[in-house]
Amino acid sequence: MLQAGVMERVIADPLPLLRTRTSEKWTAFPPEVLPLFVAEMDYPLAPVVAQAIVDRVRASDTGYVASPGPLAPAFAAYADRTWGWSVDPAAVRTATDVSVAIVEALRLALSPGDAVVITPPVYPPFFDLVPEAGGIVAEVPLVDGRLDLEGLERAFAAGATAFLLCNPHNPLGLVHSAEELQAVASLADRHGVIVVSDEIHGPLARAGAEFTPYLSLSGAARDHGITVTSASKAWNLAGVKCAVLVTGGDRMHRRLSALPEEVGFRTSLLGLHASVAAFEHGADWLAGAVAAIEESSALLTELLATHLPLVKYAPPSASYLAWLDFRATDWGDDPSVRALAGGVALNPGPTFGVQGRGFARLNLACGPEVLTEAVERLARA
Ligand SMILES: Cc1ncc(COP(=O)(O)O)c(C=O)c1O
C-alpha cells in the first residue's frame, strides 16, 4: 500500500504513564531514577501497529507462527520503497529477535573456536552472542569513529570465519558509507569471510545519512552476506519478538536452509503482525519519531553546552543513542556510576569494549522534560 507521506507528530508519554510500563527500562531501577539506558522508546506505539496487535488479540489469534506469511512481502516492499533494495520474499525467514537471528546465522557458519570479528565500541551483547554460537571474538576497534579497513583485512587474512557488522553502528549512530561497505565486501569476498549484517537501526537513519543495506551492495556481498533485522528498534517492538533473516544469493539461501525449523517457529505471531503493520503502514509515524529524536538530540547539545561543557557529544546519524564522552571530566572509566548516584541511569561505556572507557550511552527517545531534568541531575552529580 502507498504511504500517505504525512509525518505524524510523536510525543513521549508523560512520566506517570511511563512508570506504569513493566519493561526493563521501567523496572530495573527505583522510581526516583530517570532511566535513559536500554534502547526502548518513551513514545506511544504507532497507532497502526497497536491496532494490529489489538486486532489479533481480539480475534484470540495468539497461536504459533506457521511461516513468514505476510511479513516476507511486507519487508521486501519496505526495503524496496525505503532503500531501493530488491529482496526476494522467498529469501525472508523469521526468528524470535535479532539476537537469536545473529546466533543462528553464525552457528551455521562456524566450527567451534572460529574467530568472528566485531568492531568495538559496539553493542555489548555482541561479545556474548559470538561465544553462544561457538565462536571466539576477534576485535577490530573502530578508528576515529570509522571502520578500520586495514584492521579488518588483517583479521580476515588471519583466518576469521565471519564478521558481525553493526550497520548502522550502535553506540555511535554511525552510518557506514557505501564505499566503506564496498571495501568490506571485497575484503570478505577475497578472504572467504561470511558477513552477518545487523541492520536493526537502519530504518532510523537520518535523511541525508544514506544508509546502505549490505545485500544491496553487489553480487559478492549477496554471495557471502546475511542480513538480520527487525521492526523492533524503529517501532519500539522488542517485547513482541519478531525478527527477519534475509539472504540475497543462492549460496547463503542454501546455507540458511539448514536453519532448524524451530527458529522460525519460535517467532511471536503478535510480533509478526505488528511488524507487518510497521513495514506497511508505519512510515509516517517513524518520520515523526525520527523528528522527535532529532529535536531531542539538538536539546541535548544545548543542555550539555550549558551544564556539562566538558562532556563531548556528536549527534548520531542513525538511531536514538547518544554516545557521551566524559574523558575530559573526572568521572573516571565508568561515568555511569556517578550518573546513577545522581539519579540517572545510563549504559556504562566499558561494557561496549575497553574503547568505551570514559564514555556512557544515553537514550534520546524521551521527552524534553525528562532529558532536561536528566542533564540537570548529571550536572549536580
Ligand atoms: C545493534 C543491535 N542489535 C540487536 C539488538 C537487539 O535486538 P533484539 O531485541 O531484536 O534481539 C539491539 C538492541 O538495541 C541493537 O542495538
For residue 176, is pLDDT > 60?
Answer: yes
For residue 2, is pLDDT > 50?
Answer: no
CA 309 – ligand 1 centroid, Å: 31
3 state SS of 208: coil
Q: CA 332, CA 346: separation in Å to the nearest integer?
A: 14
Amino acid identity, position 356: G
**Residue 3 confidence (pLDDT):** 46
Report, in angstroms and rounded to the nearest whole number, the Rg of the chain calculated over CA atoms. 20
Across residues 97-115, what is the average pLDDT? 97
- pLDDT tens, residue by residue, 235-290: 999 999 999 999 999 999 999 999 999 999 999 999 999 999 999 999 999 999 99
What confidence tier does 5 reach under pLDDT thresholds 50, 70, 90?
confident
Strands 162-166 and 347-348, how do they pair? unpaired
CB 47 within 8 A of CB 60: no
CA 380 – ligand 1 centroid, Å: 32
Q: CA 325, CA 120: separation in Å to the nearest integer?
A: 15
Q: CA 287, CA 212: separation in Å to the nearest integer?
A: 18
Of 25, 38, 123, the residue with max ligand 1 atoms within 8 A of its CB, to mutate for a pocket test, comes to 123
Q: Domains in the chain, please, with CATH?
A: 15-45+283-380 (3.90.1150.10), 53-281 (3.40.640.10)
Of 118, 129, 164, 170, the residue with max ligand 1 atoms within 8 A of its CB, to mutate for a pocket test, comes to 170
Q: CA 96, CA 240: separation in Å to the nearest integer?
A: 9
Percent of the chain surpassing pLDDT 70 = 99
Across residues 181-201, what is the average pLDDT? 98
How far is residue 299 from each of residues 174, 290, 349, 370, 371, measured CA to CA in Å? 20, 14, 22, 11, 8
Q: Can you tell me which atom of ligand 1 is nearest the CA of 122?
A: 1
CB atoms within 10 A of CB 262: 8
Q: Which residues pair with 52 in a beta bridge?
A: none
Task: Output the residue whose Cα is nearest ligand 1's atom 9.
Answer: 238
What confidence tier does 6 reach under pLDDT thresholds 50, 70, 90?
confident
With a 6 Å cutoff on the Cβ, whether 105 touches ligand 1 is: no
